[in-house]
Structure 1
Amino acid sequence: MGPVIVTVILVLVLVLIGLLFAPIDIYLDTRSNNYYAEIKGLVKASVEADKLEILRIRVKVPFRQFYFYPLKPRRKKTGKKPSEKKGRKHWNRFAPKTIWRVLRSFEIKKWELDLDTGDCITNAKLYPLFALLNYRSGGFHVNFEGRNHAVLMVRNRPVSLIKSFFNL
């Protein structure tokens, strides 16, 4: 093989390894209505409110941006009937153990909860529980002013998902 082919193969392998270790962030913020998932530097998908539809998803990739409407009814193709596929169902491989391993592979980067239940007695009962939770992890607050707010940011890497899914 020539040096050009070896260089191209090496660059492709390095890019694939880089993609395996690129962080995937999922961010949810109820105060600012900011909800997105992103792979740093490659793609970001944000959920936004829309005037005509209920919501839209804005996808940003380098040098391009487009919108996707997931709740918009799609036109059905006329003509052929879809053939029924016979075979086993694929849901059988998603055992609760596998789902638990996948969920545990996520790392919580930021967690805040500011809660008012509307009942001062319930808020008073939650206060010691939230104080105990703050001792261990932090980010839990009870208020008596009517504010309800949650922030959650989780991070994962594709290599961690693959490892947890296949139990490597």
Structure 2
Amino acid sequence: MLVSIILLVISAIIVYLLFVQLVLYIDTGTNEYYVRVKGLMKANIMPHKEELIQIRIRAFFMNFYFYPINKIGTPIKPSTTKKLGIKKKRQLGFRKGLRLLRSFEVKRFYVELDTGNCITNAKLYPLFALLNQKSGNFRINFEGKNQLILHLQNRPIHILKSFINF
């Protein structure tokens, strides 16, 4: 009886992890960048006064701060163990990569661009008008504003299906 309850709880956790929502959000206008697994964790990339950036990870009502730039300057210690065999690297492949990209759902895509050159802006204006008719929200301006908003969602089950299905 106890084993069946434990198996039921483990299978419920696995099903939840397969169907939980993954969110990637990038907004350069408000400097908001995060990756979120709904209900489990959220990782924000934030500016810091002393360091260049800091990553705040909020998981299970606890906050963890991580400074990735500190790790770049430290030398890596060479491994003392010898490699026994040559491992072959797995490559993603074009078709699998395309299926993986198609599994993501774009909730919002907004581009506001100013190249700094009025001639180039004028040449990009018809292209952005054409792109506005098909998909997305593209805007060219002459005011010096640049902004990108990208809001993507996916579920791990869709990612697994993109690798398994042919």
**TM-score (normalised: structure 2):** 0.89
Distance in 1 (CA, whole Å) between partners of 2:82 and 2:45 is: 34
Higher alpha-carbon deviation: 54-63 or 7-16: 7-16
Q: CA RMSD in A?
A: 1.9
Mapping of 1:107-122 within 5 angstroms? Answer: 107-122=105-120
Q: Number of aligned residue pairs: give it.
A: 164
Unaligned residue ranges in structure 2 (runs of 5+): none
Show the counterpart of 2:61.
63
What is the aligned-residue identity percentage? 43
Asked if the contact 2:54–2:65 (Cα under 8 Å) also holds between the matched residues in 1, the reply is yes
Distance in 2 (CA, whole Å) between partners of 1:35 and 1:25 is: 11
Distance in 2 (CA, whole Å) between partners of 1:98 and 1:90 is: 16
Q: Is 2:134 aligned against 1:136?
A: yes
Distance in 2 (CA, whole Å) between partners of 1:95 and 1:75 is: 32
Offset of residue 52 of structure 1: 2.5
Give SS of 1:140's match: strand
Give SS of 2:110's match: strand
Distance in 2 (CA, whole Å) between partners of 1:155 and 1:76 is: 35
Q: Find 1:46's aligned residue among 44, 47, 71.
A: 44
Distance in 2 (CA, whole Å) between partners of 1:85 and 1:159 is: 35
Higher alpha-carbon deviation: 81-90 or 148-157: 81-90
Q: Find 2:144's aligned residue among 143, 146, 151.
A: 146
Distance in 2 (CA, whole Å) between partners of 1:99 and 1:37 is: 20
Distance in 1 (CA, whole Å) between partners of 2:152 and 2:55 is: 19
Distance in 2 (CA, whole Å) between partners of 1:30 and 1:68 is: 21
Offset of residue 11 of structure 1: 2.3
Distance in 1 (CA, whole Å) between partners of 2:77 and 2:113 is: 48
Offset of residue 44 of structure 1: 0.5
Unaligned residue ranges in structure 1 (runs of 5+): none
Asked if the contact 2:112–2:141 (Cα under 8 Å) also holds between the matched residues in 1, the reply is yes
Offset of residue 50 of structure 1: 1.8
Give SS of 1:150's match: strand
AA aligned opposite 1:19: L
AA aligned opposite 1:39: V
